[in-house]
Amino acid sequence: MGNWFKTALLLGVLTALIVWIGHLFGGEQGMILAFILAMGMNFFSYWFSDKIVLRIYRAREVGPEEHPELYHIVRQLADRAKLPMPRVYIIPEEAPNAFATGRNPDHAVVAATEGLLRTMNRDEITGVLAHEMAHVRNRDILIGSIAATMAGAVMILANMARWAAFLGGGSQDDEEGGGLGGIGLIVMSILAPIAALLVQMAISRSREYHADATGAQFAGHPEGLAKALEKLGAYSRKIPMKANPSTAHMFIVNPLSAGSLVNLFSTHPPLEERIARLRGTKTHMPRQRIEKTGLKDAEDTWRRLSG
C-alpha cells in the first residue's frame, strides 16, 4: 500500500470516527457539530501550531552570523530539496533532539536542541536536519497536525458523550431504539479515544519511515542519519527531555522518558527498525548529485551506495 494512500485512508478513518461519535451523541445536529469542531481545530492548528510549539520549548531563532555551520547545513539541504530556506531555531535543552514545524514550506521552521549540536558530528547533524527537511517537503507537518487535532476532537466528543450518559442524556435516536443507550455511550466513549490514538500513531509512524528515506536522499547517504538515531536512542534514555506529550510526535525521536506509559502508544516507530531500514536500502541518487553535496567522501559514498 502506498504511503500517501495509507495516510489518506487513516485520515478518512479519523474523520469517520468523529462524525460517527457526533451522530451517536446528538443525531444529525451532533454530527454537524462534530464536523465543525474538527474543522475549527484543524484551522487553528494549521495557522498557529508553529508559534505555540516554539513558545512551549522557548526556542530562539538564529541566523548565519550566530550559527554559520548550522545555517549552512540547513541552506544546503533546502537547496537539494528544492525548498525555500526555513527559519532556524535552537531549543535550550540538553537532550539531543530536533523537529520541524510550520503550516507549509514557505513558512517552515527547523529547530534543534543545544544537546543535539553538542553531541553530534557534522554528518550526523546533517542526517537529522535532512530528516526534518523531508517532513517539510512531504507536508508531514500539516498531516501530523490534522491527525493530532482530529484525535483530540474524538477525545472531546467522547468526554461529552460520557457525561451525557452519566446524566441520563444521549441521542434522540435512543428513544426510538436506534441509539446505543447510556451504557453503550460509556463503552464508546472509552474505546473511541483509544481507536483515535491508534490511528494517529499509525499515521505518524508511516510518515517517520518516509521522512527517514527522503532525508537519506537529501543528505546523500543514509549512514549519517542511522548513526544519529543510534546516538539519539542512547541519549534519550540518559537525558529525558521535559516534553509536552501533545507535541511529542513532532520530534525525530520520542522525547518522553523511557518506560513511560505514554510510550505504549508511541507515535514513533522502533529506532532499531528505522536504523535497519536505512542501512538496508540504497538512496539511488544520481552520481552527479552526490558529488555536488559537498561531502568529503563523495567518491566513497557513491561506491557504498552503488555496491
Options 93, 124, 132, 223, the catalytic residue? 132
User: For residues 71, 277, 255 and 137, what is the CA-based torsion angle, rounded to 10 degrees?
Assistant: 40
Assess contact for 158 and 150: CB atoms under 8 A.
Answer: no
Task: State whether the Cα torsion 229-198-244-63 is positive or negative.
Answer: positive
User: 284: phi > 0 → left, psi -120 to 50 → alpha, else beta; which?
Assistant: left
The answer to whether the beta carbons of residues 241 and 97 sit under 8 Å apart is yes
Burial class (CB in 10 A: 0-12, 13-18, 19+), 6: middle
For 54, phi then psi, to 5°, come to -65, -35
Q: Is 132 in the active site?
A: yes
Catalytic residues: 132
